[in-house]
């Protein structure tokens, strides 16, 4: 009995002394496990997200007003500049309203003449952002809509018709929305009026980078960026942003919609599977 | 040996759990869908302040297993490479624990400075490790900005910890 107690005491002493190194070793093993990108890890994360998003939505209520108050106060300082900018924008918009009316009429007339068949209608869901589960190393949010609501992997998230990201994981009542600004996000795009093909990629900051342009392509500040529809993940011609900086090393793109612009997103089913389709089809299986 | 009643034991258990609960609450705060640009960058980083405080003032209530659990929660709540925060939290814990004798009975401003000294290299290491895991250099300036923001918020979070310490945990020592 004395021996047993002694052994326990020795074990306890060793544990006290080396516990932190033991846990460091376990953490290093976890990193190696994480590198494997096993789908189970993502499943665990999204299941935990179901719970944490509910907790967050309860706890966030009292802070919500505070957040609005802070953003209201920070906007007060720029009121004059904001007013000038809005007046300028308004003038531009009035011009575009007239122009778009004419283009719409022309478009309808041409469609009629060509007997154009409209593509199948898209389905839309509106969901609020339940939790910001990004971090220093990723940009993603949890939205309060999941399997039970009919949400599926690959749905596109829009706000004011501008792309904000796409659904990459779906849980029972929440889904993970990977933002365009995430490091892992790559979107094939058209640039400017010449519709040059390029790729917009995130860098875990507020700004996107434009890469993979054809040799000698001329890009200027203000060029409009839209999805190209290549790879079948995003449909073509969805607004992404505009070129904000052009230098020898890089081209920066300011997205039309940023994560901080909204508490809600619209999830749209364009019936695209693209690169997200991992299951081989029946014919391939045979 | 004095036997505590059921209520007293529960109360003691809850009091001893304050450091963990406070750090856990900070983890949850990081998930808040705040719409203020600079605050959305904070995420897990506030937990480092809480860890720093409790390891100095009540290391007995912040054993390695608690730090490990906090790290694992951070890894699962956020989309970070698995194990990265667990590793960072434990490494931070180890450093602070080893330097604790130089940090006790010091002024608040000294602790603030010491926190900055410890946390900047740790974040650079974290950035290097994450870049290695992603096989690509992540934005360093964004990471550095986040670190400075965290240092700026030290008085607020450490002040919260100090309030809890003086209200509930000081007498137990």
ipTM of the modeled complex: 0.88
Range of the domain at A237: 123-274
Tell me if B151 sits within 8 A of B52, measured CB to CB.
no
Residue range B138-166: average pLDDT?
A: 89
Q: Per-domain residue ranges for chain B?
A: 6-169
Q: Which residues pair with A268 in a beta bridge?
A: A124, A156
Which among B36, B72, B133 has the least Cβ separation from residue A67?
B36
For chain B, what is the mean pLDDT?
Answer: 87
DSSP assignment letter at A156: E
- For chain A, how many structural domains are there in total? 2
Phi, psi of A41 (to 5 degrees): -60, -45
Percent of chain B with pLDDT over 90: 51
Same domain, A21 and A134: no
Chain A contact set for B139 (CB, 8 A): 203-205
pLDDT tens-place string over residues B131-146: 888 888 887 887 888 8
- Are A31 and A163 found together in one domain? no
Q: Does the distance separating the beta carbons of A56 and B90 come in below 8 Å?
A: no
pLDDT of residue A284: 42
Q: Write the CATH number for A251.
A: 2.40.10.340
CA B86 to centroid of chain Cα atoms: 11
Give the DSSP per-residue string, A18-87: HHHHHHHHHHHHHHHHHHTT-HHHHHHHHHHHHHHHHHHHHHHHHHHHHHHHHHHHHHHTTHHHHHHHHH
Q: What is the pLDDT of residues B41-54, one digit of tens each?
A: 677 888 999 999 99
Q: Is residue A15 part of a domain?
A: yes
- Give the mutation candidate from A135, A202, A208, A209 for the B interface (greatest B CB count, under 10 A): A135
B-facing residues of A in 116-175 (CB < 8 A) are: 129-138, 140-141
Interface contacts (A, B; CB < 8 Å): 157
Q: List the one residue out of B159, B162, B149 whose CA is nearest residue B119.
A: B149
Dump pLDDT digits (tens) for B77-124. Answer: 988 888 989 999 999 999 999 999 999 889 999 999 999 999 999 888
Taking only the tens of pLDDT, chain A with its 286 residues reads 667 788 888 888 888 888 999 999 999 999 998 888 788 888 898 899 888 888 888 888 887 777 777 777 777 778 888 889 899 989 989 999 999 999 999 999 998 888 887 666 788 899 989 888 877 778 899 999 999 999 999 999 999 888 999 999 999 999 999 999 998 899 999 998 889 999 999 988 888 999 989 888 888 999 999 999 888 889 888 999 999 999 888 899 999 988 878 888 999 998 876 655 444 444 444 4
């Amino acid at each position: 009995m004395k021996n047993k107690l002694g052994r326990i005491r020795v074990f306890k002493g060793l544990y006290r002394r080396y516990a932190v190194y033991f846990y460091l070793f376990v953490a290093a093993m976890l990193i190696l496990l994480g590198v494997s990108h096993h789908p189970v890890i993502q499943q665990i994360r999204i299941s935990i997200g179901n719970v944490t998003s509910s907790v967050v939505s309860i706890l966030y209520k009292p802070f919500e007003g505070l957040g609005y108050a802070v953003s209201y106060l920070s906007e007060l300082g720029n009121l004059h500049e904001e007013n000038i900018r809005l007046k300028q924008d308004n003038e531009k918009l009035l011009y575009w309203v007239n122009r778009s009316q004419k283009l719409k009429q022309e478009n309808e007339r041409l469609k009629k003449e060509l007997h154009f068949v409209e593509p199948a209608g898209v389905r839309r869901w509106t969901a609020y952002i339940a939790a910001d589960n990004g971090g220093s190393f990723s940009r993603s949010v949890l939205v309060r809509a999941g399997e039970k609501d009919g949400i599926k992997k690959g749905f596109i998230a829009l706000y004011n018709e501008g792309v904000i990201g796409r659904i990459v994981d779906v849980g029972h009542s929440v889904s993970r929305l990977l933002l365009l600004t995430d490091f892992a996000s790559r979107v094939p795009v058209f640039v400017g009026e010449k519709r040059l093909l390029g790729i917009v990629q995130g860098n875990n900051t507020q700004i996107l980078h434009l890469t993979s342009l054809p040799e000698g392509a001329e890009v200027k500040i203000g060029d409009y960026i839209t999805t190209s529809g290549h790879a079948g993940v995003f449909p073509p011609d969805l607004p992404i942003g505009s070129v904000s900086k052009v230098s020898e090393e890089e081209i920066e793109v300011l997205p039309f919609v940023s994560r901080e612009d909204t508490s809600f997103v619209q999830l749209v089913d364009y019936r695209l599977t693209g690169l997200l389709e991992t299951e081989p089809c029946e014919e391939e299986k045979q | 040996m004095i036997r505590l009643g059921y209520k007293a034991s529960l109360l003691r258990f809850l009091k001893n759990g304050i450091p963990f609960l406070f750090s856990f609450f900070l983890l949850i705060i990081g998930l808040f869908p705040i719409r203020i640009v600079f605050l959305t960058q904070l995420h897990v980083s506030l937990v480092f302040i809480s860890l720093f405080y409790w390891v100095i003032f009540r290391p007995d209530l912040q054993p390695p297993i608690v730090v490990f659990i906090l790290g694992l929660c951070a890894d699962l709540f956020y989309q970070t490479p698995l194990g990265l925060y667990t590793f960072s939290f434990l490494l931070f814990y180890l450093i602070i624990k080893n330097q604790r004798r130089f940090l006790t009975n010091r002024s608040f401003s000294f602790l603030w400075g010491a926190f900055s000294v410890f946390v900047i290299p740790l974040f650079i290491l974290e950035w290097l490790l994450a870049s290695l895991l992603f096989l690509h250099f992540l934005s360093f300036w964004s990471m550095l900005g986040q670190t400075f923001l965290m240092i700026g918020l030290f008085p607020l979070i450490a002040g919260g910890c100090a309030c809890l310490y003086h209200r509930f945990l000081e007498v137990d020592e």
